[in-house]
Amino acid sequence: MTTMPAARAVVEALRAENVCVVFGLPGGHVIGIFDALYHANDIALYRVRHEHSAAHMAFAYAQLTGEPGVCLVTAGAGATNLVTGVAEAFVGAQPIIVLAGRAATANAHRGESQDVATERLFAPITKLATRVDRIETLPDILGQAFRIARSGRPGPVYLDLPADLLAREIAFEYRPSPRPAKPRAEACAIRQAAEMLARAERPVIVAGGGALAADARTEMVALAERLAAPMLASLSGRSIIDDDHPLAAGGLGIHGSPVSQALLGDADVVLNLGCRFESMSTNWRPEFSPSPEAVHIQVNIDPAEIGRSFPAALGLVADVKAVAADLDAELAGLGVERDWRDLPRIGAMREQLDALEHEAAAIEVRNDKPLHSVQIIRAAQKAFGRKAIYGVDIGCLAEQLPGSPAFLKLHEPRTMLAPSSFCGMSDAAAGLPVSRIVHPDRPCVGFVGDGSFQMMLDVLPVAAEHRLGVTWCILNDDALGSIWDLQYGKMQGRFIGTEFAFQPDFAMLARACGCHGERVEAPEEIAPALRRAFEANEAGRPAVIDFAVARVRAPQSVKFFGLVDAKF
């Protein structure tokens, strides 16, 4: 068995887990780990300018790959700067491994610099948070960290690594955990669910982040076609469905449309594949939720989710992909094979969805100033194409509009960076450059509000330094528009803290950070500016386009929050 300094063992473990990318920023406490990285040519370090971006980037890495994103930071403030992104990953069930320095155990409780009980700070937002006090157990704990982050409902794991212990020699033997077999549902439960579905007259399938995590597209689509069931998806599950599929029927809640909302409310059987039906999806309001009379079949890898938001007639604690495959086979055995192409219900749904598409297309050709955000979203899809990775950040313009398939079409799984229901501003936008690390040959464009963009300015030089050619489209309404909306709709227009009387020159700021930068105010400039950004990206230069947009709102979100109707 080899012996080595514990700091090097950390890097050897990363290598054994096939980690090839680390996001972080050094400090004295972790200098030994960085030194070990210096010698590891197969692991790329993306050094951020503010640790909070390291967590957002690790989150993006996990969203795009399904594999843990790794953060490496120093003790104290290095670690505490990660809190928001780690919380996002915890709520969004994304695997992240945080390796943080910690004050020397020899000086514990003696007022050493950068020392607070970080393992306790991270406990409620991780699956495991611990200080590694017995350094000989380090290889074992690292193995557990990866296993726990990946298994069941994925999520973040946090390890505090005390500086004095990292310098010690330890015996290193590391066996990466085998991937556990995915749990299937019992045959009798599959039978029961299949019988419920076979009796359904108006079935609907709802996919959540759990369907994406299980990589369940093929099985889910086969099942939907057999049942002639429209497929809906929450924001976290969005890219599991090809929005061009005739059974793709839209999103939920603020990411939905009147069509998807009606389908959900009208369904007699709702097959829920890994969706939590949380606040942005349903707000637990009747008009955005399954009907209380509907039979709710809920499939989730996490037993705590079953019946949490809505009572489940049948709960299956199992892998979504396995259940979808088993249900399809069982239904075939029952002789269920519906001709969805000729079904009047599906025909009517398609007509309504086409009407929405025409409405969006009509907005695209408007000639107004300020611009309409939908114009930009649609033009960006034309400029960046079907292969692109799309990012949507928080807000009524950058998230609620492109979060809905009525306005942004996705075609392949894991092609969207989106916030979880933790809804942290700037999370998705800060993670955007990671797209070019994971997919160097795919374009990437994201939509971000002016408020959220100002929370991630530190990412611009990181993207420029590493030549990560992505484009941020700022949908700039000079406001924290979502909250401005609430003040407009609920506080009789008493606006406080939501309007920006001064804004930085974002285009100039972008250029100062090594990116291409432009301000666009006229409709005829949208497409040329996007083309220039695309070209800059292809040449390895990130781009920022600051679009001056109107404070117009997605109709679904006006209704969702019960606001005064805004005019389009």
Ligand X SMILES: Cc1ncc(C[n+]2csc(CCOP(=O)(O)OP(=O)(O)O)c2C)c(N)n1
Burial of 222 (0-12, 13-18, 19+ CB in 10 A): middle
Question: Which of ligand X, Mg ion, none binds 396 (CB below 5-8 Å, type-dependent)?
Answer: ligand X
Q: Which is nearer to ligand X, 318 or 394 (CB)?
A: 394
Residues 461-480 interacting with ligand X (rule: CB under 6 A): 475, 477, 479-480
Question: Which of Mg ion, ligand X, none binds 545 (CB below 5-8 Å, type-dependent)?
Answer: none
Give the shortest CB-546-to-ligand X separation in angstroms.
12
Give the shortest CB-118-to-ligand X separation in angstroms.
20
- Angle subtended at Cα 78 by Cα 56 and Cα 144, rounded to the nearest 5 degrees: 70
Q: Which is nearer to Mg ion, 413 or 451 (CB)?
A: 451
249 binds ligand X (CB under 6 A): no
Question: Which of ligand X, Mg ion, none binds 424 (CB below 5-8 Å, type-dependent)?
Answer: ligand X
Q: Which residue in the set 24, 76, 253, 395 belongs to the binding site for ligand X (CB under 6 A)? A: 395
450 binds ligand X (CB under 6 A): yes
Name which of 120, 57, 131, 122 is nearest 94 in CA terms. Answer: 57
Residues 478-517 interacting with Mg ion (rule: CB under 5 A): 479, 481
Binding mask 477-516 for ligand X (x = CB under 6 A): x-xxxxx---------------------------------
Give the shortest CB-262-to-ligand X separation in angstroms.
26
Q: Which is nearer to ligand X, 290 or 403 (CB)?
A: 403
Binding mask 436-475 for Mg ion (x = CB under 5 A): -------------xxx------------------------
Q: Which is nearer to ligand X, 221 or 429 (CB)?
A: 429
425 binds Mg ion (CB under 5 A): no
Question: Which of ligand X, Mg ion, none binds 398 (CB below 5-8 Å, type-dependent)?
Answer: ligand X
Q: Which residue in the set 58, 240, 397, 432 belongs to the binding site for ligand X (CB under 6 A)? A: 397
The pair of structure tokens assigned to 559 is: 């209704």
Q: Which amino acid is it at 489? A: G
396 binds ligand X (CB under 6 A): yes
Contact yes or no for 389/435 (Cβ under 8 A): yes
230 binds ligand X (CB under 6 A): no
Give the shortest CB-239-to-ligand X separation in angstroms.
22
CA-CA-CA-CA dihedral for 133, 137, 138, 139, to nearest 10:
-170
Burial of 498 (0-12, 13-18, 19+ CB in 10 A): middle
424 binds ligand X (CB under 6 A): yes
| H/E stretch holding 188 | helix 187-199
DSSP 446-492: EEEEHHHHTT-TTHHHHHHHTT---EEEEEE-SB-HHHHHHHHHHST
End-to-end CA distance of the chain: 69
CB within 8 Å of 28: residues ≥ 6 apart? 74, 101, 163
Q: Which amino acid is it at 142? A: L
CB within 8 Å of 159: residues ≥ 6 apart? 97, 98, 99, 100, 129, 130, 131, 132, 141, 142, 145
Name which of 238, 417, 231, 445 is nearest 324 in CA terms. Answer: 231
Q: Which residue in the set 399, 477, 485, 546 belongs to the binding site for Mg ion (CB under 5 A)? A: 477
> How big is the site for ligand X, counted in residues (CB under 6 A)?
19
φ, ψ of residue 410 to 5 degrees: the values are -115, 155
Spatial separation of the C-alpha atoms in residues 158 and 176, rounded to whole Å: 18
Q: Which residue is nearest to Mg ion (CB)?
A: 449
Question: Which of ligand X, Mg ion, none binds 483 (CB below 5-8 Å, type-dependent)?
Answer: ligand X
- Give me the residues that bind ligand X (CB under 6 A), please: 394-398, 423-425, 449-452, 475, 477, 479-483
- Give me the residues that bind Mg ion (CB under 5 A), please: 449-451, 477, 479, 481
